[in-house]
Copies of this chain bind each other. A is one copy, B any other.
């Protein structure tokens, strides 16, 4: 969607995103406290839900109704391997892992190497090399290897492509033009691509020979793909996939857009302790006042302070601790240096563990990869 102030497509997020505006423009539902309670009853509390980081959904009520009747769903999410993975990529994956454990369900994980090759100015080999790295980050999240299936668009094309043709037959150029802003200069792979992204939403139903509900956790910018998917799937005899959608982890530089690979905007999963410290200290936008004296007197603004946001989005799951940091920073009792140090320590503790798991992940790739019959 396009606005004079912000802009959200599957390929670009620009400006300060107004999420309530997105909800009405995209036509998604807000996650009500009732829905959160129903999820809690099954899986326990989750801070990303409580804090409104996952804030929107489609058909979540239907999905939970089916689950209550004993009709389990599967999860579908994915990763486009274009550049190094950063914290912004891990955030929805951590929530997806929580969902997998909480509901004890299968996860189909799509690596869209075709998409990234078709949309980015990168070679096929560069994309493949990046994807090998991404496997490690995804495995390090801790998904259940017995219930998680990696699908690589090119590698698994023999099972994905035939189904994608069935989707593609129902989608015209006009439709992708309006959904994705493609035009006559777009390459024919870009025009085709959304049919590949639709497939994991019903492929498990194809494989199992019965209609299985699907839940897609994803960042809100991917909604145009799944909106189209939802229009098409009933025409092929499948359920509309449900979805649960998160807002964007802010870039280091402030609350505009999302964490991305532009200079100084991202903390990568492979950054070492010193690099994290350097980036937070140098780039992390501060909600503090210009001088210590002013800060002590008037306090800082945690709502625009990027270090605070990282604690809120990912690294301080304890609500009472987070609340205390919020009020201490707002009152001026906590300085900008101090809140940055908390973020640095928390991120480094997380990354230390993540990098350890990442190292041992290489030998596990094959066990996560879906093996075609």
Contacts and interface: CB of A to CB of B under 8 A. Distances in A.
Interface of A: 114, 117-118, 124, 153-158, 160-162, 164-166, 168-177, 182-189, 191-192, 194-195
B184 A188 contact: no
A155 B158 CA distance: 5
A172 B154 contact: no
15 contacts: A114-B165, A118-B169, A124-B162, A154-B162, A154-B165, A157-B157, A157-B158, A157-B162, A158-B158, A168-B188, A170-B187, A171-B187, A173-B173, A188-B195, A192-B192
A112 to B, nearest CB: 11
A161 B161 contact: yes
Given A161-B154, A162-B124, A177 B168 contact: no
A158 B169 contact: no
A195 B194 CA distance: 16
A156 B158 contact: yes
Contact of A165 (B162, B171, B186, B189): B189
A185 B189 contact: no
A369 to B, nearest CB: 13
A273 B356 CA distance: 75
Nearest to A160: B157
Nearest 9 A/B pairs, CB to CB = A168-B189, A192-B192, A157-B161, A157-B157, A154-B162, A158-B158, A174-B184, A157-B158, A173-B184
Which among A158, A164, A174 has the highest number of chain B CB atoms within 10 Å?
A: A158
Contacts of A191: 173, 188, 191-192
Contacts of A177: 184
B188 A192 contact: yes
Nearest to A166: B124
Given A168-B188, A175-B188, 11 more contacts: A114-B165, A117-B166, A117-B169, A154-B161, A155-B158, A157-B158, A157-B160, A169-B187, A171-B188, A173-B187, A188-B194
A172 B194 contact: no
A160 B162 CA distance: 12
A33 B170 CA distance: 49
B172 A187 contact: yes
Contacts of A164: 189
Contact of A168 (B161, B162, B166, B192): B192
A169 B123 CA distance: 11
A154 B183 CA distance: 27
Contacts of A184: 172-174, 177
Nearest to A153: B161
B168 A187 contact: yes
Contacts of A174: 184-185
Contacts of A162: 114, 124, 154, 157
Contact of A173 (B168, B188, B194): B188
Contacts of A118: 165, 168-169
Given A161-B154, A173-B173, A173-B184, A192 B189 contact: yes
A162 B156 CA distance: 10
A21 B117 CA distance: 40
A195 B157 CA distance: 15
Nearest to A168: B189
B165 A188 contact: no
A365 B176 CA distance: 39
